[in-house]
Amino acid sequence: MAGKTAKPSNDLMLRVRRAFFDHGYSNLSMIGLAKVCGFTRRSLYHYFSSKEDAFQSLTDFDNRISIEAGFAAAREVKESGGTALDILSKMMDVRYGDLRREVYVSPHAVELNAEVFRRSWQIMVGYAIKFHAQLADFLVELERDGLLKLKDGASPQHVAKLLANGARGINQSLPPYPPDELAPRYREMCEAILYGCTQGPKPD
């Protein structure tokens, strides 16, 4: 079979996501994936070399989109006059919570979570490093704008990792938090970290 030759559109990636959410990983073949996506199997191979490649492409897509959306949501809160806690809580809820809420309703949530770590580990690590760096820069921006002040010894890079690791920990909590509890848990986590790493009064 010829290798992939085309870049999948956002619309195709959303169809791929729906296919895995509805059918899981192990029960889905390339023929089944193509059918759900509205392609022939032959035409789908122009975009993905295998089912695993499609799944890894989805992991890449979801991380890229969620990071972009997280920063966009955070800046919207910032521009509306929100506190550092408001801003960072919103970022974590969009970056980590939006997809988690979608996965939660899938009957294959447990399997898909395991497959992400099995098949897309390096992709996850790459985006974690990228997000940590971008979040550290954003913390510098918040400090510059007078929205927070880090304690001596609390670097933006360290605080960024604490926030991101805390949000990932909430997502992997056992038993899982129901979807409607994710946002307050992210906020609670952000508050604990900010209160421990910033000077001055406890954030509102």
pLDDT digits (tens, 9 = 90+) for 158-178: 999 999 999 999 999 989 899
pLDDT at 201 over 60: no
Measured CA to CA, the distance from residue 95 to residue 99 in angstroms comes to: 8
Measured CA to CA, the distance from residue 142 to residue 86 in angstroms comes to: 12
Give the closest residue to 37 by CA, choosing from 18, 56, 60.
18
So where are the chain's domains? 59-197
Burial class (CB in 10 A: 0-12, 13-18, 19+), 8: buried
What are the tokens at 184? 């307050």
**Main-chain phi, psi angles of 38, to 5 degrees:** 80, 30
Q: Find the DSSP H helices in the chain.
A: 10-23, 30-37, 41-44, 51-79, 84-92, 98-104, 109-119, 121-144, 156-171, 179-197
Question: What confidence score (pLDDT) does residue 174 get?
Answer: 87
The fold of the 59-197 domain, in CATH, is Tetracycline Repressor; domain 2 (1.10.357)
Question: What confidence score (pLDDT) does residue 52 get?
Answer: 97
- pTM metric for this prediction: 0.91
pLDDT at 3 over 90: no
Contacts of 130 (CB under 8 A, 6+ apart): 67
